[in-house]
Structure 1
Amino acid sequence: MNWLFGLLYRLVGWRTIGHAPTELKKGIWLVSPHWYNSDFFVGVGVRAYINLKIGYLGKSALFKWYSGWLFRGLGGYPVDRTKNNNLVEAVAATFQENETIHIAIAPEGTRSNVSKLKTGFYYMALKAKVPIILVGFDYPRKAVVFGDVIYPTGDFVKDMKPIYDFFLTIQGPKKEWLVNYAQTGEIPLPKEGR
């Protein structure tokens, strides 16, 4: 079925720009902006096109008895956002337990407009000692753009700057995208305790 998603991705007119670092054994694929449910199918399509198994974190509500089999079959890991659990620790442990694993994360945490990115992905990558691969869904160009590979150092502002700079080059379906950073150039600091 993977080949079918890859074919559909190309048939509907999407293309890739840049190098997809498929040679990496592990990584967090930071995918943004995420505005529509249909982004999921673009993501599954490009994943098939580059021929790399990349899982994703999805809200547990998607993994009901009637739909969970489909989302798990497509690489999904359910996340319960209503419980006070340590997702950063759990994802980092999953990376450490697997020789090869890739997970895609939408850093907005919502399909609404955001002025800053959530930071859980950063701490997951830092704790697991895995790179962050930047991936932009550029709607006007119908292109999935692969950016730099970021190796987090623990210097939050220094590490986040190229991430924000990259996503400012990606045009989502709406104009209001990371407006605060675009205007000030200041990296929003995480809340204490993330």
Structure 2
Amino acid sequence: MGWRVEFDGFPTRQGIAVVYPHTSNWDAPLMFVVKWAVGVQVMFWGKDTLFKIPLLGSWLRWIGGVPVERTAKHGVVGSMIAQMAQKKAQGEYFWLGLAPEGTRKYIPGWRSGFYRVAVACDVPLLVITLDYSRRECKVNQFVRLAGDEAQDMARVSQLCAPARGLRPENMAPVVLLDTSVDRQQTIVN
């Protein structure tokens, strides 16, 4: 593969993993290889249109994909909070991975769904960083979110600082979008 992957295991049976930065079509295949290489089961959100492609959709579900329709307001975050809380109460293994930008294009920040799920369910946040300049993927940076958005995101930003996307000009700032803007963009994009 030519990449170095740092992975030390998960600290708990449930959590949220964010992958940063998401600037290229190569990010997802790279993460599938990393997921396979470290041998962990992680569910992930993906845009629903990918799941409608014959064979690709079946394969994505088989490897842990959960389709997310981004054109309608429907409570994905609320249902994920309920699912994560249920898995946590039952002691079941459940990690959800996603790209918080939700797109490969430049946007002015991260969508807040991952943050709301992690805080509501009191699960750790795994910050996975990709560095195309050094061909390095870090899968070992955990943060326990306190619910103080500014403090939490400052810590996440520190962990993401060394990351370099394949297309650095598309890297989103590591800040949460305003919740009302975030919800609007979920509907429009």
What is the alpha-carbon distance in structure 2 between the residues aligned to residue 114 and residue 163 of structure 1?
17
Q: Indicate the residue corresponding to 2:154 in structure 1.
A: 161
Alpha-carbon shift at residue 190 of structure 1 (Å)? 2.4
Residue 7 of structure 2 is aligned to residue 24 of structure 1:
no
DSSP-derived class of the 1:162 partner: helix
8 Å contact from structure 2 (residues 108, 177) kept in 1: no
Higher relative contact order (CA 8 A, sep 6+): 2
TM-score normalized with structure 1 length: 0.82
Of residues 113, 118, 121 in structure 2, which corresponds to 1:120?
113
In structure 2, what is the equivalent of residue 62 of structure 1? 50
Query: Of the candidates 14, 36, 39, which is equivalent to residue 27 of structure 2?
Result: 39
Match of 2:66, as an amino acid? Y
TM-score normalised according to structure 2 size: 0.84
C-alpha distance in structure 1 between counterparts of 2:73 and 2:124, whole Å? 26
C-alpha offsets along residues 20-56 of structure 1, whole Å, 9 cap, x if unaligned?
4334201111101112222112111111111110110
Specify which of 91, 102, 111 is matched with residue 109 of structure 1.
102
CA RMSD of aligned residues (A): 2.0
Q: Spell out the pairing of 1:167-182 with structure 2 (5 A cutoff).
A: 167-176=160-169, 177-178=171-172
Task: Write the distance in 2 (CA, Å) between the matches of 1:123 and 1:193.
Answer: 15
Unpaired runs of 5+ in structure 2? 183-189
Structure 1 ranges of 4+ moved more than 6 A: none
In the alignment, does 2:85 pair up with 1:96? Answer: yes
Q: Which moved more, 1:93-102 or 1:134-143?
A: 93-102
- 1:42-101 Cα offsets, whole Å, 9 max, x none, are 111111111110110011111116132111011100111111111211111111222110
Name the % identity. Answer: 28
Partner of 1:184: none
State the alpha-carbon separation in 1 of the partners of residues 66 and 144 from structure 2.
24
Letter matched to residue 45 of structure 1: V
CA contact (8 A) 1:22 1:50 kept: no
Separation in structure 2 between the aligned mates of residue 193 and residue 65 of structure 1, nearest angstrom: 30
**Mind listing any 5+ residue stretches in structure 1 that lack a counterpart?**
1-11, 182-186
The residue matched to 2:108 in structure 1 has which SS? coil
Kindly provide the CA deviation profile for residues 110-151 of structure 1, in whole angstroms up to 9, marking residues without a partner as x: 101233222111001111221110101110111111353111
Kindly tell me the number of residue pairs found equivalent between the two proteins. 176
The equivalent position to 1:78 in structure 2, one of 67, 74, 79, is 67
The 2-side partners of 1:169 and 1:144 are apart by 11
